[in-house]
Amino acid sequence: MNRTFLIKYAEIAIKGKNRRIFEDALVRNIRSVLQSVEGNYIVRKENGRIYVKAEGEADLSGAEKALSRVFGIKAYCPVTLLPDEGFERLSEEVVRLVGETWGKENVTFKVDARRARKNYPLDSMEINAALGETLSTAYPNLRVDVHTPEKLLRVEIREEIAVYSEELPGPGGLPVGTSGNACLLLSGGIDSPVAGYLISKRGVKLSAVYFHAPPYTSERAKQKVVDLAKLISLYAGEIRLHIVNFTDVQLKIYDECPHDELTIIMRRYMMEIAEHFAVEDGCQALITGESIGQVASQTMQSLFCTDEAATLPVFRPLIGFDKQDIIDISERIGTYETSILPFEDCCTIFVAKHPVTKPRLDRIKKSEELLTGKIEELVETAIAGTETMTVTP
Ligand code: ATP
Ligand code: MG
């Protein structure tokens, strides 16, 4: 098995100074995810390429899995690196390498050489032709097809020579840490973990806030959210998770406000409290898992009322997604199984039979006046009593 990976990343939009920031963050994030994989990994950057080299006993499939989750990686390729000892030696090595992999199969192939170093005696066309011929002579079952080959053998001539024919897809996106910070309102549901994943994929570092309502919500419901944060952190890296005891705030709203407006008013308080921790963590935005029309609290009118309670921009990456599309992503990223565990959420406990679906902001604000002088201290207490933990992959 190859012990080196060549990392490919999208190069568009990362010109000039940004490019270095991007590459350095990517190197840092790759090193960080490999720390928990068995083996010693040397990660180095070399003119527009990143190489990851495993040393000693190493769990290479674990390393592949880890790389498949690092945002910013477009593809990663197990490669063989050869010293330049002349073209004849290269041909021999290529014959041996292909022999060890797909040389005995009945497939069409093409050689795609790239010469980053112009002092190499053959140009790319000559390398393609010569290696193509050598390989079809060595393995008569192989046939050159330059248009739609089943196997593509890449040969990159740099200081060393990289030979590879396998390219595995990375998650794409931008390296976490290159686009600022945002704070995810993380519930135990299906949607918010996906929303966090999608924003993190654009290079944003996440914080998270979870509202629970003990004793109405259980310790297991809380653990489920911690578990979800951990699953997200496999992609997003370390996450600061704030667990807010929301019970007294909720009870006060329940006691004072019209019940058909409970959900909206509660969500507005969630925004306010989440914003406190967002600012504390240096975030430039909030994130929720809302999608238009999914439930009463996610109609256009409800979203308008919820939004108004926040001063930071609220990112809702799932706004135009159907539930099934969200489920598909959650299955793919590995949060679905945990999300569907049947534990109660604080939102579902104090819920009205017939919540307003078209709340009016002026009426909501009028109802909130009933809380004046009674809720501020409860909000402060909830913030002061919040449990904060750092969730790592
Ligand atoms: P999810 O699947 O993310 O729980 P949902 O379909 O259950 O979403 P709601 O309960 O209306 O929808 O919540 C909408 C959004 O509000 C969630 O996606 C999440 O961002 C936030 N939210 C809801 N409940 C909580 C909570 N207990 N703690 C933190 N954020 C919450
Ligand atoms: Mg929910």
Q: Which ligand is in closest contact with the Cα of 267?
A: 1
Answer yes or no: do 126 and 224 share one domain. Answer: no
DSSP string, 279-306: HHTT-SEEE----TTSSGGGSHHHHHHH
191 C-alpha vs ligand 1 centroid, how far in Å?
7
Q: Give domain status of residue 66, yes or no.
A: yes
pTM: 0.93
Nearest-atom index, ligand 1, CA of 225: 28
Answer yes or no: do 44 and 109 share one domain. Answer: yes
Query: Is the predicted pLDDT of residue 32 greater than 80, yes or no?
Result: yes
Q: Give domain status of residue 352, yes or no.
A: yes
Q: Give domain status of residue 176, yes or no.
A: no
Q: Give domain status of residue 254, yes or no.
A: yes
Q: Give domain status of residue 200, yes or no.
A: yes
Q: Is the CB of 191 under 6 A from ligand 1?
A: yes
Give per-residue pLDDT as tens, 207-250: 999 999 999 999 999 999 999 999 999 999 999 999 999 999 99
Read off the CATH number of the domain in which 279 is found: 3.40.50.620
Position 354 scores a pLDDT of: 82
Cα gap 84→88, rounded to integer Å: 10
Position 215 scores a pLDDT of: 92
Position 211 scores a pLDDT of: 97
Please compute, for residue 156, the number of CA atoms within 13 A of its CA located in the half-sphere on the CB side: 16
Residue with tokens 């919040």: 386
Mutational pocket test of ligand 1: of 183, 184, 190, 191, the residue with most ligand atoms within 8 Å of the beta carbon:
191
Q: Is the CB of 63 under 6 A from ligand 1?
A: no
The residue among 112, 136, 169 that closes a domain is 169
Nearest-atom index, ligand 1, CA of 345: 27
Give per-residue pLDDT as tens, 263-316: 999 999 999 999 999 999 999 999 999 999 887 788 999 999 999 999 999 999
Q: Is the CB of 345 under 6 A from ligand 1?
A: yes
Nearest-atom index, ligand 1, CA of 217: 27
Whether 266 contacts 306, CB under 8 Å: no
Position 188 scores a pLDDT of: 93
Q: Give domain status of residue 174, yes or no.
A: no
Q: Give domain status of residue 370, yes or no.
A: yes
Q: Is the CB of 295 under 6 A from ligand 1?
A: yes
Q: Is residue 342 classed exposed, middle or buried when 0-12, 13-18 and 19+ CB atoms within 10 A define those classes?
A: exposed
Position 98 scores a pLDDT of: 96
Answer yes or no: do 97 and 161 share one domain. Answer: yes
Mean pLDDT, residues 254-259: 94
Output phi, psi for 133, to 5 deg: -70, -45
Read off the CATH number of the domain in which 160 is found: 3.30.2130.30
| 15-43: b (≥16 Cβ within 10 Å) or e | eeeeeeebbebbbebbebbbeebeeebeb
Tokens of 372: 């004046």
Q: Is the CB of 288 under 6 A from ligand 1?
A: yes
373 C-alpha vs ligand 1 centroid, how far in Å?
27
Cα gap 87→171, rounded to integer Å: 36
Which residues constitute the domain of residue 31? 4-169
183 C-alpha vs ligand 2 centroid, how far in Å?
17
Answer yes or no: do 199 and 322 share one domain. Answer: yes
Q: Is the CB of 211 under 6 A from ligand 1?
A: yes
Cα gap 63→36, rounded to integer Å: 9
Give per-residue pLDDT as tens, 347-367: 666 777 788 889 999 999 999
82 C-alpha vs ligand 1 centroid, how far in Å?
52
Query: Could you tell me the strand order of the sheet in which 314-315 lies?
Result: 314-315, 285-287, 181-185, 205-212, 239-245, 387-391
Answer yes or no: do 21 and 165 share one domain. Answer: yes
Position 16 scores a pLDDT of: 75
Instruction: Please give the biggest Cα pair distance in the chain.
Output: 87
Output phi, psi for 299, to 5 deg: -75, 170
Mean pLDDT, the chain, rounded, equals: 94
Answer yes or no: do 124 and 19 share one domain. Answer: yes
Answer yes or no: do 276 and 347 share one domain. Answer: yes
The residue among 143, 169, 195 that closes a domain is 169
Position 320 scores a pLDDT of: 97
Position 12 scores a pLDDT of: 55
Number of domains in the chain: 2
Mutational pocket test of ligand 1: of 264, 347, 356, the residue with most ligand atoms within 8 Å of the beta carbon:
347
Q: Is the CB of 346 under 6 A from ligand 1?
A: yes
The residue among 169, 195, 222 that closes a domain is 169
pLDDT bracket for residue 14 (50, 70, 90): low
Query: Is the predicted pLDDT of residue 13 greater than 60, yes or no?
Result: no
Nearest-atom index, ligand 1, CA of 185: 30
Answer yes or no: do 150 and 197 share one domain. Answer: no
Question: How distant, in Å, are the alpha carbons of 189, 229, 290, 376 from that of 339?
Answer: 5, 11, 15, 32
CB atoms within 10 A of CB 243: 20
Whether 139 contacts 183, CB under 8 Å: no
Percent of the chain at pLDDT > 90 equals 86
Whether 83 contacts 160, CB under 8 Å: yes
Answer yes or no: do 203 and 351 share one domain. Answer: yes
Answer yes or no: do 351 and 299 share one domain. Answer: yes
Mean pLDDT, residues 154-158: 94
Q: Is the CB of 296 under 6 A from ligand 1?
A: no
Answer yes or no: do 164 and 192 share one domain. Answer: no
348 C-alpha vs ligand 2 centroid, how far in Å?
8
Q: Give domain status of residue 336, yes or no.
A: yes
Answer yes or no: do 323 and 361 share one domain. Answer: yes
